[in-house]
Chains A and B, each alone.
Chain A
Amino acid sequence: MSITGWLRCFQGIVWREALRFVHQRSRFISALVRPLIWLFVFAAGFRATLGISIIPPYDTYILYDEYIVPGLIAMIQLFNGMQSSLSMVYDREMGSMRVLLTSPLPRWFLLVSKLSAGALLSLPQIYVFLLIARLYGIDLPNWGYVAVIPGLLLSGLMLGALGLLLSSLIRQLENFAGVMNFVIFPMFFASSALYPLWKVQEGSPTLRDICALNPFTYAVESIRFLLYGKIDPTSLLLVAAALVVFLALAIIAYDPSKGMLARIRGGG
């Protein structure tokens, strides 16, 4: 197939995800409400009890509300990645995953296209969240809003790839509750999303080590630095490395000869 055929396929996959996104307004709203509750309720409550000292990328003391914003952005992407994993399982059960996988284009390309669509579609949610946060009083440097885009795409792809990998392991829809308990919560809480690592170190050095092993921490940190127009190469590299590992494993899991999809149950 020609390059235009490949582009058309990519475009078609993104377009289909975008249409589904538009039709699922409740999903958009719930994806937005979740971080806003954390910002308006949790962060407001903690503002007085948790002081954040001057740590990079911040040049001055900041309020807890401001500290928590990058973590909440990454949370939007984490939920999106897992929800797309849910939609994979749903698609697989409903059969439309079969439509995707019987395209003559290579399977890795189909899966990467689907992931890219997910990462792109997380952007409108994030920017609406950032707009509300700005109205609430979280002022970020103006160009930080643009500088963060590559970081958002990278972390969106990484978390999407993790979701894709999980989708190859989940047998049924009901197991998504397990994903919440065993993936989303541990990843979110054992990271730098809610508290800086030096603060965690004070409480528990072991927990700090766990947080340092969590790729979600680096997604949060890469977003945090980019939002202030700075680059944290370590975080970006580690997010990229996690993306490569998760994606490679997901592609292997979805390879026809690995037989993971043999779990698709049909009739006779």
Chain B
Amino acid sequence: MNHLADSREMIEDRAALEPPPAIRIVGLSHTIGGRKVLDDINLEVPGSRFTVLLGQNGAGKTTLFSLISRLYAAQSGHIDVSGANIAKQPAFALAQMGIVFQQRALDLELTAEQNLSYHAALHGLSWRETRRRIAEELSRVGLLAEAKRRARSFSGGEMRRLEIARALLHRPSLLLCDEATVGLDIRSRTDILADVRHLVSDRGLSVLWATHLIDEVKPDDQTIILHRGRIRRMGTAQAIAAEMGVATLQEAFRKLTEAA
């Protein structure tokens, strides 16, 4: 994918021919408090792949996530999730996605199990199904033995793993992670990143991974560079570097963010 080639028209043309990508965004702009936080965003997040949304703090990543998860509606443009327009079919679109927010969103007084059970209820899962999936997901993230512990007593890394387990409880096809590794130690960061990558290869999950940490990007990761509310480049990390005539994504990123 090339930033010039991926015009609004091309995305719309392709939409008519191919199966829907995990996310398709066309002509998305959003202003908060007089500041244009997102400016004419056109992008696609392919299915069953690990896609990185790379941008500095304040680039517009969290606003983009808030719009995709319909915390509030976009002022212009539209967002499709698995082919469903988020404004017209929010129930279907929201059922497709699991979200790990940048700010921790756990009830600290509640146990790990209770936090997950609450989420399962919000997605209408039966008690039996809830119990089964909680055991499954907690065991997958290595927290089954901690099910009865209050979230307050969890370490930062454990809280994030718990949030990932929660986000997957209703079996979404898309996982949105907003700066999920920020503030964690190296070991927790590596583990969480490896776990999420494994979900892509193992379950065929589509992942949109927002980060400002370039070392989390692999050369063949689909990468979207967002800077000051605009998409500056899209493609594999390798291709972006090659296109910019530099050796690494880090250099390409620096060039792009310094120039704009």
Contact = CB atoms under 8 A, between A and B. Distances in A.
B260 to A, nearest CB: 15
> By CB atoms of chain A within 10 A, which of B66, B92, B178 has the most?
B66
Interface in B13-65: 32, 55-63, 65
Contact of A96 (B106, B117, B125): B106
B212 A268 contact: yes
B15 to A, nearest CB: 23
Nearest to B89: A104
Interface string A13-28: 1011001100110000
Interface stretch (B70-78, B186-194, B200-208, B214-222): B70-78
A29 interface: no
A103 B69 CA distance: 10
A102 interface: yes
Interface residues of B, number: 52
Given A95-B104, A95-B105, A268-B61, A261 B124 contact: no
Interface in A79-119: 93-96, 98-106, 110
Contacts of A23: 109-110
Nearest to A99: B105
A85 B103 CA distance: 20
Contacts of B63: 266
Contacts of B117: 12, 15
B119 interface: yes
Nearest to B71: A261
A104 B212 contact: no
A8 interface: yes
B179 A4 contact: no
Main secondary structure of the interface of B (DSSP, over half): loop
Given A11-B121, A94-B105, A267-B102, A101 B212 contact: no
Contact of A103 (B66, B110, B123, B127): B123
A267 B61 CA distance: 8
Given A104-B94, A261-B72, A16 B118 contact: yes
Contacts of A5: 123-125
B126 A96 contact: no
A256 B70 contact: yes
6 closest cross-chain pairs (CB), A and B: A12-B121, A5-B124, A95-B105, A266-B62, A103-B122, A95-B103
B104 A101 contact: no
B250 interface: no
A89 to B, nearest CB: 14
A8 B125 CA distance: 7
A260 B73 CA distance: 10
A206 B243 CA distance: 76
8 contacts: A13-B118, A15-B121, A16-B114, A96-B105, A98-B103, A103-B94, A268-B60, A268-B61
A20 B109 contact: yes
A268 B55 contact: yes
